[in-house]
Amino acid sequence: MTAETTLQLGTETSTVLCVEDGHVVLQQELPLGTASLARQWMRHTPPTPLDIEHAIEVTEDVLMPLAAKLARTDQLQLSSSGAALILQGVGAVPDAVLHLSLDEVEELFNRIAMVSQGRPIGHEALPTEPEFYAAMVIVRECLHHLRFGGVVVLVSQAVFLKRVSLQVAAFSNLVHATSDENALLS
């Protein structure tokens, strides 16, 4: 069985998509995005420890109900505008595919925590946009609470469009299968 879980990390909302053997088994919109989380909780630039703690609490509340529903995969695939924020934040080129282990995400998050506690942002070479901090909170909490060993950050438009078309095809197959089952039952 091949399984893949993708978080399409958007600005206002995000979508979790789980595909097993080419079939969509879970597609769930989350009321959680980089801009909405930043607007609600990242009130300082850079965010304070309290800003980050509030953002973590909100993110945990949204993510915890998903834990039992997800197919277990080692890596979380991250795409969309939130992925671009992270790539830009770590200085990667726009078409890069970035692989980060849980430990590497924690290391980056520790740098964010040091900046939130007063370390000059220039010492850590991190962006100042609150949306970057929100993206990192969401990714970190996904890895922890949904038990992923790492994240693959995808931003290339060609890669993204290919993945979306495969996911749409898989979803279309699910819809047709459901329609066929309903026809048999009537």
- For residue 168, the model assigns a pLDDT of 53
Element (H, E) at 35: helix 34-41
The 10 Å Cβ neighbour count of residue 69 is 12
Q: What is the mean pLDDT of residues 107-116?
A: 95
Given a cut of 80, whether residue 181 has pLDDT beyond it is: no
Average pLDDT over residues 28-43: 96
What pLDDT score was predicted for residue 184?
61
* % of the chain residues with pLDDT over 90: 61
Using one digit for the tens of pLDDT, what is the confidence trace for 120-178? 988 888 998 999 999 999 999 999 999 999 999 988 554 334 333 433 555 566 556 65
Radius of gyration of the chain (CA): 17
Confidence of residue 16 (pLDDT cuts 50, 70, 90): very high
| Predicted pLDDT of residue 165 | 44
pLDDT value for 66: 93
Round the average pLDDT of the chain to a whole number and report it.
86
Q: Hey, what domains does the chain have and what are their CATH numbers?
A: 3-185 (3.30.420.150)
Q: Which residues 6+ apart lie within 8 Å of 42 measured at CB?
A: 51, 52, 55, 130, 131, 133, 134
pLDDT at 104 over 90: yes
Closest to 23 (Cα-Cα) out of 177, 185, 153 = 177
Distance CA 55, CA 82 (A): 15
